[in-house]
């Protein structure tokens, strides 16, 4: 029977996903790193057709739980198949050699955008293949950028910066698609150990991690990534064209609400301004935004750390900045920047002329991925909020890249943040 002629519905009984007989023998196999899309195979993680699944987890990352609630409440059709007419990207990312290297990209499916182009035969046969990447256009209205326009620091050209002060860009949304063997190799750990700990530390969420070693791809329920491109996206793959880049990890309190205890929003808006300026000058700008709130430790943990910092003896001090995080969370940082360059490799970036980042972890990861970095830029002093001086001086003292002075231990003790009641 042709799959397209079969009506798929969820049964009332519970089918354990760990059973190998839930998978058809002719389910397309995934050969990670294969250059031919048909030989590589599609990632099929749709729930409506469980028999065709060749990956662990489900599409939409952290939103899978909301989809489950919608189904449970009767608001979501159990046999829904997305209608993808007119959803194709406004720009097609051109394949680069990184796409076909099993070790260069291990957290993104490079074929996840143009599924109609890559897998027409399987789609025609009725396989429910969903995109994991989407591309569109946007105008960004950002007060700090509009202020830069009014101050004459950023000109209106009608192409990149519009008359109303908005900035035009191309947006690329990328869901996480993890190739477990590649991730294990990059972390220099055994794949079996990685699968076991992922299973245990998620409360046994995905039993296939330990029962189905034949399934090598996991769609984890975590936040996605968005790339914002200013100028011609094709220029990202041309090392001779100037590229200004900011790799930014989510900080909702600062990025959205303007909390001044950190430099996240100023760093982000300054990066957008400079990326737009570079595009106006014949180059290209890139902002990569990762949903890794609170150094991937979460916002609850972050707020607990804020309280601990403010209430400790001596007040909020640059000297104890990292220590308080580790005391509460058990680790200073869980972002695993080793995987961050995958997005850059997907876009075909080979050279970054201006990297807006003080982080050595980010810089080292980018360079280790084979991407050249010419200039590193730290945030200008005038953009640092007063309460964020604690963070900034602590990072400088810890060895973060800076173009300014580094305070000694006694000077660090004098860098204090606001009290909680101020």
85 classed as catalytic: no
The CB-based long-range contact list for 273-277 (8 Å cut-off, 24+ gap) reads 273/144, 273/145, 273/148, 273/153, 273/154, 274/244, 274/246, 274/354, 274/356, 274/377, 275/228, 275/230, 275/244, 275/245, 275/246, 276/145, 276/154, 276/160, 276/161, 276/167, 276/230, 277/154, 277/244
Q: 147 phi and psi, to 5 degrees?
A: -65, -35
Q: Which of 316, 335, 342, 376 is catalytic?
A: 335
- Helices (DSSP H) in 281-376: which residue ranges? 293-296, 299-311, 321-329, 341-347, 360-368
The one catalytic residue in 324, 333, 342, 376 is 333
53 a catalytic residue: no
Please count the other Cβ atoms lying within 10 Å of the Cβ belonging to residue 382.
Answer: 6
Q: What is the 3-state secondary structure (H, E, C) of 371-404?
A: CEEEEEECCCHHHCCHHHHHHHHHHHHCCCCCCC
CA distance 175 to 62: 10
Instruction: State how far the Cα of 64 lies from the Cα of 178, in Å rounded to an integer.
Output: 16
Extract long-range pairs of 11-16: CB within 8 Å, 24+ residues apart. 15/50, 16/207
Q: Euclidean distance between the first and final Cα of the chain, in Å?
A: 70
CA distance 169 to 315: 43
Q: Which residues are catalytic?
A: 333, 335
């Amino acid at each position: 029977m042709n799959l397209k002629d079969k009506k798929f519905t969820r049964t009332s009984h519970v089918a354990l996903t760990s059973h190998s007989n839930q998978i058809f023998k002719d389910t397309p196999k995934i050969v990670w790193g294969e250059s031919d899309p048909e030989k590589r195979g599609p990632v099929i993680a749709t729930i409506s057709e469980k028999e065709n699944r060749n990956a662990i987890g489900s599409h939409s990352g952290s939103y899978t739980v909301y989809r489950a609630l919608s189904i449970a409440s009767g608001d979501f059709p159990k046999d829904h198949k997305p209608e993808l007419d007119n959803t194709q990207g406004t720009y097609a990312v051109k394949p680069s050699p990184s796409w076909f290297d099993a070790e260069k990209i291990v957290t993104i499916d490079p074929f996840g955008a143009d599924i109609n182009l890559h897998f027409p035969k399987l789609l025609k046969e009725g396989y429910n293949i969903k995109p994991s990447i989407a591309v569109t256009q946007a105008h960004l209205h950002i007060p700090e950028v509009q202020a830069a326009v009014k101050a004459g620091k950023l000109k209106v050209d009608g192409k990149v910066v519009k008359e109303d002060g908005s900035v035009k860009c191309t947006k690329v949304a990328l869901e996480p698609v993890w190739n477990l063997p590649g991730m294990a190799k990059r972390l220099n750990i055994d794949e079996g150990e990685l699968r076991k700990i992922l299973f245990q530390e998620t409360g046994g969420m995905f039993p296939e991690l330990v029962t189905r070693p034949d399934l090598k791809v996991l769609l984890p329920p975590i936040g996605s990534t968005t790339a914002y491109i200013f100028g011609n996206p094709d220029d990202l793959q041309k090392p001779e064209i100037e590229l200004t880049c900011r790799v930014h990890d989510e900080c909702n309190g600062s990025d959205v609400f303007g909390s001044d205890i950190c430099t996240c929003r100023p760093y982000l808006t300054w990066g957008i301004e400079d990326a737009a300026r570079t595009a106006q000058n014949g180059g290209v700008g890139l902002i990569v935004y990762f949903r890794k709130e609170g150094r991937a430790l979460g916002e609850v943990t972050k707020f607990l750390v804020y309280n601990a910092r403010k209430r400790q003896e001596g007040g909020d001090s640059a000297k104890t900045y990292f220590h308080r995080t580790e005391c509460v969370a058990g680790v200073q940082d869980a972002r695993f920047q080793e995987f961050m360059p995958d997005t850059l490799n997907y876009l075909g970036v080979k050279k970054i002329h201006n990297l807006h980042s003080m982080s050595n972890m980010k810089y080292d990861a980018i360079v280790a991925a084979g991407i050249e970095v010419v200039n590193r830029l730290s945030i200008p002093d005038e953009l640092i909020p007063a309460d964020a001086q604690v963070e900034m001086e602590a990072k400088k003292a810890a060895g973060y890249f800076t173009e300014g002075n580094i305070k000694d231990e006694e000077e660090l003790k004098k860098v204090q943040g606001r009290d909680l009641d101020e």
